[in-house]
Amino acid sequence: MNKVLSVFLDRLSERMTALVAGLVSARVAGMHAEVQAQQQSDLEDLARRYDADGKSEIAESLRRRSLRITSSDLAGEGTEIVNLTMVPLQDPGNPEPTDLRALPDFSGSAKRKPRNQARREETAAEEEENS
């Protein structure tokens, strides 16, 4: 009985999680579209202002930038951003890209012994040497 209830609750929680994730992703997509529309509107307003001032090159540049904003592929934009951030690190004095694998691992996986334990081991080693 307990196992049946556990399986039921597991399946129920999985389905609820999927529903909540779907609702959240739909909301995020809507907010993203709203922000893009606002950015396009702002850029078009700026372009009109620069056109009125006689700066047509700047206005055209703003309109081209506005056209690049439109995208409904959030995952594609995310992978593009990740790819742009993964450009190899370059040292200003060295034109060759720096290989990050040569850097030391600072992940913290190697743990130090506590101070008291290290002292105990030292005193135990000294006692063994003395006896």
Which residues are within 8 A (CB) of 50 and not within 5 positions of it... i.e. 6 or more apart?
56, 58, 59, 62
Write down the pLDDT at residue 86: 72
Q: Which of 4-13, 18-27, 68-77, 105-114 has the lowest mean pLDDT?
A: 105-114
Residue 78 exposed, middle or buried by CB count within 10 Å (0-12, 13-18, 19+): exposed
CA distances from 64 to 39, 58, 59, 61, 121 (A): 13, 10, 9, 5, 70
Q: What is the rounded average pLDDT of the residues 9-29?
A: 90
Write down the pLDDT at residue 104: 64
First to last CA, the chain: 63
pLDDT confidence band for 36 (50 / 70 / 90): confident
Q: What is the rounded average pLDDT of the residues 3-28?
A: 90
Condensed to tens digits (0 to 9), the pLDDT of residues 46-74 reads: 999 999 999 889 888 888 888 887 666 66
pLDDT at 75 over 80: no
Write down the pLDDT at residue 122: 74
Condensed to tens digits (0 to 9), the pLDDT of residues 77-131 reads: 777 777 777 766 555 566 565 566 666 666 665 566 556 666 777 777 777 777 6
Q: Which residues are bridge partners to 97 per DSSP? A: 90
